[in-house]
Amino acid sequence: MFSGFFRLRREVAWWQGLLFALGCLLTVLGVWWLATHGEPEQRLLSPTVLPSPHETFATFPELWFDRALTRNTLASLRRVALGFGLATAVGVPLGILCGCFPFLRAFFAPVSIFGRNIPVAALIPLTFSLFGIGELQKIMFIFIACVAFILSDSARAIAEVHDRYIDTAYTLGAARRQVILKVLVPLAFPSIFNSLRLLFGLAFGYIMLAELVKFGGESGGLGDIIITSQRRGPKEHILLVLIIIPIVALAIDRGLFWIQRELFPHRYGGSGILNRAVHVLLVGWERFKFLLVKPTPVAAIRQPTPSQEKAS
């Protein structure tokens, strides 16, 4: 009956996949329950090591209301969003330029090698002395941790666009700026976006690190809940936050993936709603562009005159 599942690389239906995943969750929950059930003295693991599932979930209302779970989650997200947004704003354009011009890539190579190979935790002390112990330090920590990855991924995405597209654009009369803006960037953008999505997950992991290391005070954020619960209890909250983090991360990832599919239907097979929205914006921009640039009359192309040929 189950022999079908052992055919090599056999795909499973979505509901079967869901069932298997649920099976995994139930197994973990079962082991957890087995290890922690019964009276506190008779348990395999004492309550100080691991509280039981029931005890853990019973403290959820307290976490939600008294410790302001939503506000703290949003505080963490805000830091990641700001730090990551800044890293994107700097890293993507620079990466695109590096991909277009290898001499720039060579110039930034030390930065990107350093940034990608340094263990980010080692940067925390430095960020404290540079940016203080406030909000800025956490945002800049995320920025520093991500920007090198974003830069080199963007540069690689541009470099991976096949030369034949550049050749084609040039033989169709595109100028260098047009090749970059109309060919290289749009063709590389799906993979740039994809790597941004994956890196965002990484950044979300780093913010915990930044929030766990702190000098006194309530700085807020999910990491802060963990460290405070570790010191003052209840320990159940640590477990709850550990469950909540991947759920939030998954939700964000799925959201970004939806955007990605809708932006690039030709690459990821979405229905293209966002792609059309961007298209409408571009058309709108072209409507008003004539105020700045005079359009070429089409007749100039249909009957080429010798003087025009020489110009090209």
Partner 1 sequence: MTQGTPTPTPQPVDPDAGPIGVSRVIDHPPIPAKLAGPPVVEFRNVTKTYNAGRPNAHTAIRDVSFVVQDIKDVGEFVCVLGPSGCGKSTVLRLIAGLEPQHPATTGEVQVLGRPVTGAGADRGMVFQDYTSFDHRTVLDNVTFGLECRGVSRKDRHDLGRQWIQRVGLNVDVDQYKYPHELSGGMRQRVAIARTLILRPRIILMDEPFGALDPHTRMNMQDLLVTLWREVEATVFFVTHSIEEAVYLGDRVYIMSNSPGTLLREMEVEPANRPSRQMQREPRFQETVAYIRDLISELEESRAAE
Q: Which residues bind partner 1 (CB under 8 A)?
A: 162, 164-165, 167-175, 178, 182-183, 186-187, 189, 264-267, 283, 286-287, 290, 293-298, 300-304, 309-310, 312
- Compute the least distance from the CB of residue 186 to partner 1, in Å: 5
Distances in whole angstroms, Cα of residue 7 to Cα of each of 11, 23, 160: 9, 20, 35
Instruction: Choose between 45 and 282: whose C-beta lies nearer to partner 1.
Output: 282
- Compute the least distance from the CB of residue 200 to partner 1, in Å: 23
Instruction: Choose between 42 and 305: whose C-beta lies nearer to partner 1.
Output: 305
Task: Output the CA torsion sign for 190, 192, 193, 195.
Answer: positive
- Compute the least distance from the CB of residue 292 to partner 1, in Å: 11
Instruction: Choose between 37 and 176: whose C-beta lies nearer to partner 1.
Output: 176
- Compute the least distance from the CB of residue 166 to partner 1, in Å: 9
38: left (phi over 0), alpha (psi -120 to 50) or beta: left
Q: Is 284 exposed, middle or buried (0-12, 13-18, 19+ CB in 10 A)?
A: exposed
- Compute the least distance from the CB of residue 197 to partner 1, in Å: 18
- Tell me the C-alpha distance between 82 and 63, whole Å: 26
Find tokens 């920007």 and name the residue. Answer: 147
DSSP 86-118: HHHHHHHHHHHHHHH-HHHHHHHHHHHHHHHHS
Instruction: Choose between 72 and 260: whose C-beta lies nearer to partner 1.
Output: 260
Instruction: Choose between 155 and 179: whose C-beta lies nearer to partner 1.
Output: 179
